[in-house]
Homo-oligomer: A and B are copies of this chain.
Amino acid sequence: MRLSHYFLPVLKETPAEAQIVSHRLMLRAGLIRQEAAGIYAWLPLGIRVLNKIKAIVHEEMNRAGAIEILMPTLQSAELWRESGRYDDYGKEMLRIKDRHDRDLLYGPTNEEMVTEIFRAYVRSYKQLPLNLYHTQWKFRDEVRPRFGVMRGREFLMKDAYSFDIDARAARRAYNRMYVAYLRTFARMGLKSIPMRAEAGPIGGDLSHEFIVLAETGESQVYCHKDLLDMPIPNEDTDFHGDLESIVRARTELYAATEDVHDSARFEKEVPPEKRLSARGIEVGQVFYFGTKYSAPMKAVVTGPDGKEVPVEMGSYGIGVSRLVGAIIEACHDDAGIIWPVSVAPFRVALINLKSGDVATDKACESLYSRLTTAGIETLYDDTDERPGAKFATADLIGIPYQLVVGPRGLSAGNVEIKVRATGAKHEMPADAAVEYLVQGN
Contacts and interface: CB of A to CB of B under 8 A. Distances in A.
A72 B7 CA distance: 18
Contacts of A143: 99
Interface of A: 5-7, 9, 30, 33, 35-37, 39-44, 46-48, 50, 65, 67-76, 79, 91-92, 94, 96, 98-99, 102, 104, 106, 113, 116-117, 120-122, 130, 132, 134, 137, 139, 141, 143, 153-154
Contact of A9 (B94, B98, B102, B121): B121
A141 B99 contact: yes
A198 B256 CA distance: 61
Contact of A70 (B41, B75, B92, B104): B41
Given A113-B41, A143-B99, A70 B94 contact: no
Given A47-B69, A68-B44, A74 B39 contact: yes
Contacts of A154: 72-74
B91 A99 contact: yes
Contacts of A130: 7
Contacts of A36: 72, 74-76, 102, 104
A47 B69 CA distance: 6
Contacts of A91: 99
A67 B6 contact: yes
Nearest to A10: B121
Given A36-B74, A99-B143, A43 B69 contact: yes
A40 B72 contact: yes
A15 to B, nearest CB: 12
B99 A96 contact: no
A48 B67 CA distance: 10
Question: Which 10 A-B pairs give the minimum distances between C-beta atoms?
Answer: A9-B121, A42-B70, A36-B76, A41-B71, A91-B99, A47-B70, A99-B141, A39-B72, A72-B154, A44-B67
10 contacts: A33-B120, A36-B74, A36-B75, A36-B102, A39-B75, A43-B69, A47-B70, A73-B73, A99-B143, A137-B137
Contacts of A113: 35, 41
B94 A69 contact: no
A383 B98 CA distance: 43
Given A35-B71, A94-B98, 15 more contacts: A9-B121, A30-B121, A33-B117, A35-B79, A36-B76, A39-B74, A40-B72, A41-B71, A42-B70, A46-B69, A48-B68, A72-B154, A94-B96, A98-B141, A98-B153
Contacts of A40: 72
A29 to B, nearest CB: 13
Contacts of A153: 98
Contact of A42 (B41, B43, B69, B73): B69
Contacts of A35: 71-72, 75-76, 79, 113, 116
Contacts of A73: 73, 137, 154
Contact of A47 (B68, B74, B96): B68
Contacts of A104: 36
Contacts of A30: 121
Contacts of A79: 35
Contacts of A48: 68
A242 to B, nearest CB: 18
Nearest to A48: B68
A121 B106 CA distance: 31
Contacts of A65: 5
Contacts of A37: 102
Contact of A74 (B5, B9, B139): B139
Nearest to A45: B69
